[in-house]
Structure 1
């Protein structure tokens, strides 16, 4: 299983999931299929980071696409604010954070860990400052506003997927050379998602909605493990630019179809 084949499978699963997100009459099992998409894309970024010839350029590209997606989402969400149907999708943001944090941790120096902590503290307080104190309410949905500034500043809390999926990326990176460890860690993480949802998934107070950004069936992501374990270390035909372009394109098209149907 090459990287390209993994991404294509994830892309198909993601598309089905997003059909279920924007077309409200779609069956719930569309979302079950979609659970395998995010872990595979996270794994693909870990592999891509490991093999890229220019890691800084790779990280900058992820951030620029995250920034572009955030701005695109903002324009559409403001323009169609009266529909109360928002685009919350910007998975470039957690992928950027995963790659960036790996880069900092690879330095193996305490000061870079301190830089990481300071960065996240500043990103958190800047996001809160803009939304809560400066009252820059871009839309009528506070969560959407936080996600915009979270993507801009790189806050691990205020991005799609939240901190747990960034954590998954770090786990997959640490176990990348040992499939046995990957299998154990991935299974434990899937179980952890189930337990977290049972304990805190229904809570809407404090920061829980930003930490637990997944449904009760998130544990179905375990179905992605065999695909990840079948990875053969080869890149495949690539299609790098296709994946970057397909993501925003299909979301926008499905969003407008959803608005029209509503």
Structure 2
């Protein structure tokens, strides 16, 4: 009985702050690997580091679902994400040497994953709060989803979040909603971006045992929420400064 209780305690080891910290560490590892090994080479070291980095996005998606569900003021939540997406856009472009001119360079990875996070919440808000006809909501939601196409994780981030939110409270079903979209993203990446990057997306599956440890609690450190909002653009600025010193004004993002 004692052993069984101990196992159950292990299953509920992390509150949201711990999981967000894991996401921050994984993100830092991932982006630092982009800096040290640009272009997604197939050597063991960058492969392993990017595998770890793949934890970041699905943890973000999971907590966007939680944040939308628990927020007391969804409009303030959207506004915060929108402002964050704008600030992060400039930090992301500077970090990886991406031109602010939308007509220069690749159509992929033109802005950070924060834009799809904002769009996902907006899509959910339209579904839950707008009194429009179904076809009107669907049309607007479709336009918004496609607007995320040039971002990091593209429209897939929006669709994954919407799917995961529909199964909120059931982690297994959330994963089943997420995985097909990640597979589609990997398929597109394989043919149009990088075969190595597509392979590294398998690392997303590691998020299931990590999220399984979530105990549903927020944690005492309320500053963690704001720490992430500040840390994300700041670490990209730091990467951009190092990029300029090491490589010059060069695009290191695919």
Report the TM-score when normalising by structure 2.
Answer: 0.73
Alignment of 1:58-207 (within 5 A): 58-73=77-92, 77=98, 88=110, 90-107=112-129, 109=131, 111=133, 114-115=136-137, 117-118=139-140, 120-121=142-143, 155-186=147-178, 188-189=179-180, 193-194=182-183, 197-198=186-187, 200-204=188-192
Q: Which residue of 1 aligns with 2:17?
A: 4
Which digits, 9 at most, give the CA deviation of each residue in 1:190-211, with x for residues without a partner? xx5346534x43434xxxx6xx
Matched, 1:244 2:233: no
Count how many residue pairs are aligned between Structure 1 and Structure 2.
Answer: 216
Q: Is the 8 A contact 1:59 1:99 kept in 2?
A: yes
Q: 1:197 to 1:42 in 2, by over 3 A?
A: closer
CA contact (8 A) 1:23 1:258 kept: no
Taking a change above 3 Å as real, the CA distance of residues 99 and 123 of structure 1, as seen in their structure-2 partners, is closer
- Give the equivalent residue in structure 2 for 1:29: 48
Please list every run of 5 or more consecutive structure 1 residues that lacks an aligned counterpart in the other structure: 125-154
CA RMSD of aligned residues (A): 3.0
| Partner deviation per Cα, 1:221-256 (whole Å, 9 max, x = no partner) | 010111222222211123111100000111111122
CA distance 1:182–1:71, shift in 2 (3 Å): closer
Which residue pairs with 1:44 in the alignment? 63
**1:227 equivalent in alignment to 2:219:** no
1:178 and 1:77, CA in 2 relative to 1: closer, same or farther beyond 3 A?
A: closer
Structure 2 CA distance, aligned partners of 1:13 and 1:196?
20
* Higher alpha-carbon deviation: 245-254 or 163-172: 163-172
Q: Using the alignment, how far apart are the partners of 2:82 and 2:123 within structure 1? A: 13
Could you say which structure has the greater relative contact order, defined with CA pairs below 8 angstroms and 6 or more residues apart? 2
Q: 1:261 aligns with which of 243, 246, 249?
A: 246
> For the Cα contact (< 8 Å) 1:17–1:33, is it kept in 2?
yes
Runs of 5+ consecutive residues of structure 2 not aligned to the other structure: 1-13, 39-44, 248-254
